[in-house]
A = this chain, B = another copy of it.
Amino acid sequence: MINKDDVIKILRKVVDPELGMDLVEANMVRDVEIYNGTVKITIALTSSSCPLMDKIKSEILNNVKNLQGVNEVEVITTTMSEDEVRKLFNKIRQRRMFQKLPKRNIKRIIAILSGKGGVGKSSITALLATALIKRKLKIGVLDADITGPSIPKIFGINSIPYVLEGKIIPPVSKTGIKIMSMNLIIGDEELPVIWRGPLVSNAITQFYMNVDWGELDYLIVDLPPGTSDAQLTVMQSLPLDGVIIVTSPQELAGIIVSKAVNMSMMLGVTIIGVIENMSYVKCPNCGKEIRIFGDSKGKLLAEKMNTKFLGSVPIDPVLSNACDNGTIEDYNNEEIWNIIEKALDMII
């Protein structure tokens, strides 16, 4: 006896190549009638002029006729209502939204996140990348801050990426870090990129997929402030290994950083650890540590979110200067490099 469930099982293997979805999941199977060894299947297509109709039909025929007991297979096609088509396309869009891009030739992808602007995400990104390349690892930095990119300036990069065989070849920093950023493309670094969310998301996806990153040990993604399009795209589409949270001692910053932390948790992204930046500044005159933004709260934040506290980085006017002059890779404050090295030891 032919079983209706067996027919359905086979229809689950027939994929509409345009939709990237099987006939059952796409709600295209409308009826399966079985009588005397004849199987009559009714399929609803998205359009009566579906160019793949014949392909889908013949695939159904070929598969179903192999079922034991089947003498004849008949496929009847109809079309979906406008409402059904809309629902299906919404379903596909959502699935694509949550589908991760491939890992490419990159061992680990880590995003640097804070939610709040101005806590020094980009400086921390640059310090981490520089410390990693000193360990003889292959490193790339993807600047996902499309409307406020800082990375090229910090590394002193002015060269424009060029395109070779359809791939964007990223500029390389003095010590060999591959870098991609919106500011490398627009030329004039003061020119605004006035883009609404979908364009921002597209640019980030392209920076990941269309750039020839080659083989990398680490790709570090510098995220802009907020919990909107850029963060959603990076967390949902990029195959992230995790995020490092950058915070500052200010309680106000802590609240906004917590939003980003909670966003990561909601989206199932691993939180690798917390770095506190701008913890204090040493008076160059008398040597006193001044806690400009209040007492350190990074350790508490890390405990609260059950992750590692990776260290406190002080404010150093020389570091700020190195970021302005594009000489971060020559920056030689031993105290700060030690903090960064220790942080790396905890996560690498």
Contacts and interface: CB of A to CB of B under 8 A. Distances in A.
A348 interface: no
A198 B317 CA distance: 39
Interface in A210-266: 224-229, 231-232, 248, 250-253, 255-256, 258-260, 262-263, 266
Given A196-B228, A225-B225, 9 more contacts: A148-B227, A192-B263, A195-B227, A196-B232, A224-B226, A284-B290, A286-B286, A293-B317, A294-B320
Contacts of A115: 147-148, 192
A45 interface: no
21 contacts: A117-B119, A118-B118, A118-B248, A118-B253, A147-B259, A148-B225, A148-B227, A191-B262, A192-B259, A192-B263, A192-B266, A194-B227, A195-B227, A196-B232, A197-B200, A197-B228, A200-B228, A224-B225, A285-B286, A292-B320, A293-B317
A271 to B, nearest CB: 14
A172 interface: no
Interface residues of A, number: 63
A321 interface: yes
A28 to B, nearest CB: 23
Interface in A267-313: 267, 281, 283-286, 288, 290-294
